[in-house]
Amino acid sequence: MQKHTELRELTFRSVILGGLITLLFTAANVYLGLKVGLTFATSIPAAVISMAVLRLVGNSNILENNIVQTIASAAGTLAAIIFVLPGLIMVGWWTGFPYWVTVAVCAIGGTLGVMLSVPLRRALVTGSDLPYPEGVAAAEVLKVGFGSAEGKEENAKGLRMIIVGSVISAAYALLGAMRLAASEIATTFRVGAGASGASTSLSMALIGVGHLVGLSVGMAMLFGMLIAWAGLVPYLTAMHGVTGDLGHLVNTTFRSEVRFIGAGTIGVAALWSLFRIIGPIIKGIRSAIAASKARSAGATLELTERDLPIGVVGGTILALLVPIAALLWYFSSGTVLAAGIWPVIFGTLLYVVVVGIIIAAVCGYMAGLIGASNSPVSGVGILAVLGASVLLVMFYGHGGNPEQTKALVAYALFTTGIIFSIATISNDNLQDLKTGQLVGATPWRQQLALVYGVIFGSLVIPPVLGLLNKAFGFVGAPGAGEHALAAPQAALISALAKGVLGGDINWSLIGWGALLGVGTIILDEILRKAGKMRLPPLCVGMGIYLPMALTLLIPVGAVIGHYYEKWADGHANPDFAKRMGVLAATGLIVGESLFGVAFAGVVAAAGTDSPLAVVGDSFEKPGIIIGMLLFAGAIYALYRYACKTCRAG
Q: Which residues contact 461 (CB under 8 A, 6 or more apart)?
A: 26, 30, 77, 78, 81, 102, 103, 106
In order of 250, 257, 505, 506, the CA distances from 240 in angstroms are 11, 12, 18, 16
pLDDT in tens, 505-563: 778 888 999 999 999 999 999 988 888 788 888 788 878 877 888 789 989 999 999 99
- pLDDT value of residue 172: 94
Does the residue 144 lie in any domain? Answer: yes
Exposure string for 538-562, b = 16+ CB within 10 A, e = fewer: bbbbbbbbbbbbbbbbbbbbbbbbb
Q: Among 217, 134, 144, 143, which residue's Cα sits nearest to residue 431?
A: 134
108 domain residue, yes or no: yes
Q: What is the pLDDT of residues 333-348, one digit of tens each?
A: 888 888 888 898 999 9
Overall residue count recorded for the chain in this entry? 649
Single out the residue of 270, 471, 286 nearest to residue 385, CA to CA. Answer: 270
Burial of 243 (0-12, 13-18, 19+ CB in 10 A): exposed
Q: Which amino acid, residue 324? A: I
Quote the domain boundaries for residue 204: 4-295+305-479+487-648
* Confidence grade of residue 4 (pLDDT, cut at 50, 70, 90): very low
Instruction: Return the closest-CA partner of residue 113 out of 451, 604, 608.
Output: 451
Is residue 349 in a domain?
yes
CA angle 367–370–373, rounded 5-degree value:
70
- The 3-state DSSP class for residue 188 equals strand
Stretch 348-373: mean pLDDT, rounded? 77
Cα separation, 183 vs 576, whole angstroms: 33
Question: Residues 6 or more apart from 386 whose CB is under 8 A from it?
Answer: 267, 496, 500
* Number of structural domains the chain divides into: 1
pLDDT greater at residue 565 or residue 493: 565
Which pLDDT score, from 0 to 100, does residue 196 have? 92
- More confident position, 391 or 489: 391
Cα gap 436→452, rounded to integer Å: 17
Q: What is the pLDDT of residues 134-168, one digit of tens each?
A: 777 777 777 766 655 455 677 678 778 888 998 99
611 within some domain: yes
pLDDT tens digits, residue range 108-134?
988 998 898 888 887 777 766 677 767
Q: Which residue has the higher pLDDT, 486 or 326?
A: 326
Burial of 350 (0-12, 13-18, 19+ CB in 10 A): exposed
Q: What is the pLDDT of residue 567?
A: 93
End-to-end Cα separation, the chain, in angstroms:
26
> Residue 555: what pLDDT?
93
Residue 300: inside a domain: no
385 pLDDT above the threshold of 90: no
- Three-state DSSP at 203 gives coil
Q: How confident is the model at residue 516, as a pLDDT? A: 94
- Would you state the pLDDT for residue 529? 87
Return the number of other C-beta atoms located less than 10 Å from residue 490's C-beta. Answer: 32
Separation between Cα atoms, residue 569 and residue 577, nearest integer Å: 8
Residue 191 falls inside a structural domain = yes
Tell me the C-alpha distance between 235 and 387, whole Å.
Answer: 30
CB 9 within 8 A of CB 64: yes
The pTM of the full predicted model, rounded to 2 decimals, is 0.75
CA 609 to chain centre: 26
Q: Which residue has the higher pLDDT, 482 or 88?
A: 88
> Distance (Å, rounded) from C-alpha 218 to C-alpha 561?
10
Q: For residue 66, with 0-12 CB atoms within 10 Å meaning exposed, 13-18 middle and 19 or more buried, which class applies?
A: buried
Q: Is the dihedral of CA 426, 429, 434, 435 positive or negative?
A: positive
Is residue 104 over pLDDT 90?
yes
Does pLDDT of 295 surpass 90? no
φ, ψ of residue 471 to 5 degrees: the values are -75, -45
